[in-house]
Amino acid sequence: MNQHNLQIEAQFRPEVLERVLRMTRHRGFRVDDMEMSTSADCQNLNIRVTVSSERPIQLLSNQLAKLMNVTRVEAHIMEQPLKKSA
């Protein structure tokens, strides 16, 4: 199980978080940790999510980057896994 940090920037839409989480689950990634904040003008979202999976992270980051309201996706491997996988 590899753990990765994803930094996702998106335009604010009421359903954009749902899109991101749905994609994450469906492509085979478990959300271990997550933070979200809205920009001061409420136009943009910053999502930081730690995910784990057997699958390569590009599988998810490439699909997330395709979402219409997502403007940027950056993936980093976690130096130290947060939690042991089950």
Interacting residue ranges for another protein, rule: CB under 8 A = 14-15, 18-19, 22, 26, 56, 58-59, 62-63, 65-68
SS3 sequence of 22-62: HHHHHCCCEEEEEEEEECCCCCEEEEEEEEEECCCHHHHHH
Residue with smaller CB distance to another protein, 26 or 76: 26
CB 23, min distance to another protein, A: 9
CB 53, min distance to another protein, A: 14
Tell me the residue type at 69. N
Residue with smaller CB distance to another protein, 13 or 76: 13
Residue with smaller CB distance to another protein, 23 or 81: 23
**DSSP reduced 3-state for 14:** coil
CB 26, min distance to another protein, A: 7
Could you tell me if residue 29 is left (phi over 0), alpha (psi between -120 and 50 degrees) or otherwise beta?
Answer: beta
